[in-house]
């Protein structure tokens, strides 16, 4: 396994974060019991509900909490902030520590403010299909979960969750993704909404997002997707 320099790893982690945070919503404390929410549904049927919900969603706004487990260092990195997604292809994540991820549909920029006293650094690349894992492309209106992943229903009790828990495995070899775990609402009025999502890679790293206070299908100003890094910030190569 190749170990990247810490600062470059930090920027690439930002881009990975952008791939994950599209799919979740409000708190889960008030959900009904699994038996009341259709425990007999198959994994494929639940995936179809997720697809159907996000096919009808044009914009998403939410606050997020991210937990990233670094296997090589055996430590957790936690962060939080606010995000907005506007299909097709536009998104913005503003972290409370000053990190920013923005895509205007053409270019994706990830800015890291760096250590105290530094001007920071940023990475910029085309916002094409390769910029995001296929597990999330359905959120931008460009992909279908069932085409790229096989689905297995996991025990909600074992995962400590009151809705459905679905494991997605890539149908084809994927260098970055071992599996994706979706935590899906099962209440009739929120059927198919994903509250949490976790990506496990082949090196043992885990990246989990939880979103709260989500709002759907509201107008979003175009200016939110225009971003210029601070003066003096250093651009790094992809």
pLDDT tens column, 160-191: 999 999 999 999 998 889 999 999 999 999 99
- Confidence check: pLDDT of 55 > 50: yes
The mean pLDDT value for 155-161 works out to 96
Share of the chain above pLDDT 90, in %: 62
* Residue 7, pLDDT score: 56
User: Dihedral angle at the C-alpha atoms of 54, 218, 226, 81, nearest 10 degrees?
Assistant: -80
Give me the chain's average pLDDT, please.
83
Better pLDDT: 22 or 121 = 121
The per-residue DSSP string of 155-224 comes to PHHHHT-SSEEEEEEESS--SS-SEEEEEE--SGGGTT-EEEEEEE-TTS-EEEEEEEEEEES----GGG
Measured between alpha carbons, how far is 39 from 36 in angstroms, rounded to an integer?
Answer: 7
- In the prediction, which pLDDT does 237 show? 83
Q: Are 214 and 26 in contact (CB under 8 A)?
A: yes
Please report the DSSP string for 40-109 in residue order.
T--HHHHHHHHHHHHHT--EEEEEEEEEEEETTTTEEEEEEEEEEEETTTEEEEEETTS-EEEEESSEEE
Nearest alpha carbon to residue 184 among 198, 171, 170: 198
Residue 230 CA, chain-centre distance (Å), reads 25
The average pLDDT across 66-82 equals 96
pLDDT at 29: 39
pLDDT at 27: 38
The CATH code belonging to domain 6-226 is 2.50.20.10
Q: Which residues pair with 3 in a beta bridge?
A: none
pLDDT category of residue 23 using cuts at 50, 70 and 90 = very low
Confidence of residue 104 (pLDDT cuts 50, 70, 90): very high
Query: Does residue 14 register a pLDDT over 80?
Result: no
| In the chain, domain spans | 6-226
Average the pLDDT over 123-135 and give the result: 71
Predicted confidence band at 78 (pLDDT cuts at 50, 70, 90)?
Answer: very high
pTM: 0.79
């Amino acid at each position: 396994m190749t170990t990247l320099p810490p600062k470059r790893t930090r920027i690439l982690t930002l881009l990975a974060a952008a791939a994950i945070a599209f799919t979740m919503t409000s708190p889960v404390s008030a959900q009904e019991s699994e038996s009341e929410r259709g425990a007999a549904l198959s994994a494929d049927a639940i995936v179809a509900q997720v697809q159907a919900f996000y096919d009808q969603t044009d914009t998403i706004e939410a606050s997020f909490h991210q937990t990233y487990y670094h296997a090589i260092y055996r430590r957790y990195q936690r962060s939080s902030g606010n995000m907005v997604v506007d299909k097709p292809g536009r998104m913005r994540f503003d972290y409370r520590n000053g990190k920013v991820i923005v895509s205007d549909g053409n270019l994706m920029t990830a800015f890291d403010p760096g250590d105290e006293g530094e001007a920071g650094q940023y990475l910029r690349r085309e916002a094409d299909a390769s910029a995001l894992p296929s597990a999330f492309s359905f959120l931008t209106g460009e992909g279908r979960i069932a085409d790229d992943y096989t689905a297995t229903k996991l025990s909600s009790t074992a995962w400590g969750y009151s809705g459905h828990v679905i494991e997605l495995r890539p149908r084809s070899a994927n260098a970055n993704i071992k599996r994706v775990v979706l935590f899906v609402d099962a209440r009739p009025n929120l059927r198919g909404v994903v509250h949490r999502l976790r990506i496990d890679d082949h090196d043992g790293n885990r990246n989990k997002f939880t979103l709260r206070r989500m709002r759907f299908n509201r107008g979003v100003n175009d200016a939110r997707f225009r971003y210029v890094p601070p003066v003096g910030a250093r651009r790094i190569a992809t």
